[in-house]
């Protein structure tokens, strides 16, 4: 079991109840969609995984380790095992494609030789060979998201979390990105993807968790009844 | 591992300084102006201090002796005065010397004061200096009580006022320097906050990727040190140039004795350089923590 949530609630300091008694389990190697209307609690749930937020109540285990009572100094290690892909890519504009990827490894203190090798590997994996020296501004949205994914993979995470990764992309590009994520999942990485794109979820036939008003209202192994 | 990180920190700091030229120039100028003003304030204080010290060290008392004392009585009095607490020196001035000085102060060698007066009306006296000029009034009252001392004179009234003035001048300059330093820290912190704000996305990203707080902090601290030191160096060059031309142009004209001592100025410049560096680091650490809380 990679992830376990037990009766997790999150109430923000302004009184907003973002999550209400959420329990869920995610196996190693799973591919999971997280759906629900805006304000349902998807973003909050995602932030709990890498402890950008801590739960108000409940218990969370990742790789059998509680991350609720985690010291501030232990958080970086947790995050090194989780790759995050953002809707708006969050690439550094003044760094090239390969520098953006290398950045993720530099900040965790990898050695230069290791970085060179791994950057070449993940660039190949996401299909951007030949664009290493391009700056984000010179690349299409789909290509930029591929860099985002490559960066998330650079440190060989156990878990890849993608928060609306296709939200800013057209439908054809979105399908390509989905294929890439499936491919990564087939190679063994657990993937959690929050999305609004019903088309993509429908075609995928993967597990779907539906959130509404902070509660899990459905958890379906192949998404049929939900979409 | 450690060395690689250190190299990485310096590289990142240097890149960031070059990339954000406008902010770099703004920060360096801010530090520079702050240190310049601070330096001028300190120089003024140092100079005012040396003037004060000189004025104060001129304060001494003269103890006039009664007439008709024997040699041994006089030396007994001298003994008693020099044994008083806080007395630095006692100098005997005979009545002849006193008369000669008086004559000199009229400035006419032809004019013989003694033959005009017929006899010397002046008494023997002691010129007494205190180790601390502020003790003069206290010592004077003790000297006054010694047998054979006719009168003690130290500029009563004037001296007390002088001490009041010097006390205030010192307090005001100190307050001025403290306020300026606080203002400098605030100004520099604000400027550096702008620089950090421009890179908040990068910091957020680093945090989410799993960088430790210190890994993120170091390049900013190095940046702060470089900014602070560079700014301080600039202002010290300006200050040293301006001050040395002030000394060479005005030093001989005015009666105010400007401080020209190499060691004092050297120490001041080193202190200002250190202040610049500290201001850079302090400004950075004040501004940075808010952005690290992710």
Residues 153-192 of A with CB under 8 A from B: 155
CA angle B208, B210, B211 (to 5 degrees): 110
Q: What H or E segment, with its residue span, contains residue B63?
A: strand B61-65
Say whether pTM exceeds 0.80: no
User: Residue B4: its chain A contacts at CB < 8 A?
Assistant: 109, 111-112
> Can you give the pLDDT at residue B258?
67
Chain B residue at shortest CA distance from A54: B294
Angstrom distance (rounded) from CA A29 to CA A188: 5
Positive or negative: CA dihedral B83, B85, B88, B92: negative
Tokens (6 digits) for A68:
């609720």
Do the Cβ atoms of A91 and A148 come closer than 8 Å?
yes
Instruction: For residue B248, name the pLDDT band (cuts at 50, 70, 90).
Output: confident
User: Residue B19: its chain A contacts at CB < 8 A?
Assistant: 94
Closest CA relative to residue B69, chosen from B113, B124, B31: B124
Angstrom distance (rounded) from CA A115 to CA A99: 10
Beta-bridge partner residues of A33: A193, A208
User: Residue B211: its chain A contacts at CB < 8 A?
Assistant: 76, 107-108
A-B interface: how many C-beta pairs under 8 angstroms?
Answer: 45
User: Residue A92: its chain B contacts at CB < 8 A?
Assistant: 201-202, 205
Chain A residue at shortest CA distance from B293: A52
> DSSP string of B133-157?
GGGHHHHHHHHHHSTTEEEEES-TT
A181 Cβ contact list (under 8 Å, min separation 6):
A31, A149, A160, A162, A165, A191, A193
> What domains lie within chain B, and their CATH numbers?
2-55+161-292 (no CATH), 60-153 (3.30.70.3040)
Q: Please write the tens of the pLDDT for every residue from B160-203.
A: 888 888 888 888 888 888 888 888 778 778 877 887 888 888 88
Q: Does A94 touch chain B (CB under 8 A)?
A: yes
Average pLDDT over residues A170-187: 94
Q: Does A92 touch chain B (CB under 8 A)?
A: yes
What is the ipTM for the molecules in this complex? 0.87
3-state helix, strand, coil split of chain A in percent (to 5) is 35, 25, 40
Average pLDDT over residues B87-105: 84
Do the Cβ atoms of B35 and B236 come closer than 8 Å?
yes
């Amino acid at each position: 079991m990679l992830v376990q949530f037990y009766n997790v609630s999150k109430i923000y300091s302004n009184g907003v109840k973002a999550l209400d008694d959420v329990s869920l389990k995610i196996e190693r190697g799973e591919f999971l969609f997280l759906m629900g209307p805006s304000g349902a609690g998807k973003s909050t749930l995602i932030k709990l995984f890498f402890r950008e937020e801590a739960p108000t109540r409940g218990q969370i285990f990742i790789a059998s380790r509680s991350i609720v009572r985690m010291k501030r100094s232990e958080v970086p290690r947790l995050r090194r095992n989780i790759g995050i892909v953002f809707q708006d890519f969050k690439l550094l504009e003044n760094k090239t494609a390969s520098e953006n990827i290398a950045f993720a490894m530099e900040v965790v203190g990898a050695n230069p030789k290791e970085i060179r090798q791994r950057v070449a590997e993940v660039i190949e994996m996401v299909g951007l060979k030949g664009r290493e020296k391009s700056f984000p501004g010179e690349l299409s949205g789909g290509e930029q998201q591929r860099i985002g994914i490559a960066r998330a993979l650079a440190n060989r995470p156990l878990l890849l979390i993608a928060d609306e990764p296709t939200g800013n992309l057209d439908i054809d590009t979105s399908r390509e990105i989905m294929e890439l994520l499936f491919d990564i999942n087939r190679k063994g990485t657990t993937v959690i993807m929050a999305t609004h794109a019903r088309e993509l979820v429908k075609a995928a036939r993967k597990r779907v968790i539906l959130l509404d008003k902070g509660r899990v209202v459905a958890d379906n192994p192949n998404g049929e009844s939900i979409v | 591992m450690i060395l690689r990180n250190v190299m990485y920190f310096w590289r990142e700091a240097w890149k960031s300084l070059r990339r954000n030229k406008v902010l770099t120039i703004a920060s360096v100028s801010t530090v520079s102006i702050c240190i310049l003003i601070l330096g001028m304030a300190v120089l003024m204080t140092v100079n005012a201090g040396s003037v004060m010290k000189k004025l104060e060290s001129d304060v001494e008392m003269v103890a006039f002796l009664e007439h008709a004392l024997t040699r041994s009585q006089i030396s007994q009095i001298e003994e008693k005065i020099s044994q008083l607490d806080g007395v630095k020196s006692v100098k005997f001035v005979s009545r002849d010397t006193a008369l000669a000085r008086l004559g000199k102060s009229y400035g006419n060698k032809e004019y013989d004061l003694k033959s005009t007066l017929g006899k010397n009306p002046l008494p023997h006296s002691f010129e007494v200096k205190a180790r601390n000029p502020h003790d003069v009034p206290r010592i004077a009252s003790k000297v006054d009580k010694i047998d054979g001392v006719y009168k003690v004179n130290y500029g009563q009234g004037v001296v007390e006022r002088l001490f009041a003035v010097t006390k205030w001048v010192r307090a005001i300059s100190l307050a001025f320097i403290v306020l300026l330093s606080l203002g400098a820290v605030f100004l520099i912190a604000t400027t550096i906050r702008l620089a950090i704000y421009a890179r908040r996305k990068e910091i957020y990203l680093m945090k989410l990727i799993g960088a430790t707080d210190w890994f993120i902090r170091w390049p900013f601290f190095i940046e702060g040190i470089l900014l602070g030191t560079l700014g301080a160096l600039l202002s010290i060059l300006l200050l040293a140039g301006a001050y040395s031309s002030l000394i060479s142009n005005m030093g001989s004209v005015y009666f105010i004795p400007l401080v020209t001592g190499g060691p004092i100025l050297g120490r001041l410049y080193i202190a200002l350089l250190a202040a610049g560096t500290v201001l850079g680091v302090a400004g950075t650490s004040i501004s940075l923590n808010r952005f690290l809380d992710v």
